[in-house]
Amino acid sequence: ALAAHLLGRPVKCTLTREQSLLMHAKRHPIRVEATAGCDADGKLTALRVRMVGDSGPYASVGMKVLERAAGHASGPYVFPNIDVEAVAVRTNNPVCGAFRGFGANQAQFA
């Protein structure tokens, strides 16, 4: 905005991929440990998931991200028994930002 004001015309900022990685917020990293069980026929019977989400150093949407991740922990599968525990922690890592589908992507990748 300052450059446009000083120049009196529209300006465009185009970042390289490296600059973008350095400057933009990233997704909330979540450590996921999952254990699944099945019966003798191979039918899924149980899922146990433990998640620890890195919320960075400041107040953020970390808890909401973990809520979404916990809700998507079983993916597209039906488990008659499921146990999910998700904890958000504050760290000295860089600040994270919200993205479309936040939380779901981290859980589905695991």
Q: Domains, the chain, ranges and CATH?
A: 26-109 (3.30.365.10)
- Specify the 3-state DSSP secondary structure of 48: strand
Kindly tell me if the per-residue pLDDT of 102 is higher than 90. Answer: no
Q: Would you state the pLDDT for residue 30? A: 93
pLDDT digits (tens, 9 = 90+) for 47-68: 999 999 998 888 778 888 999 9
d(CA 14, CA 3): 14
Over range 37-45, report the average pLDDT.
Answer: 97
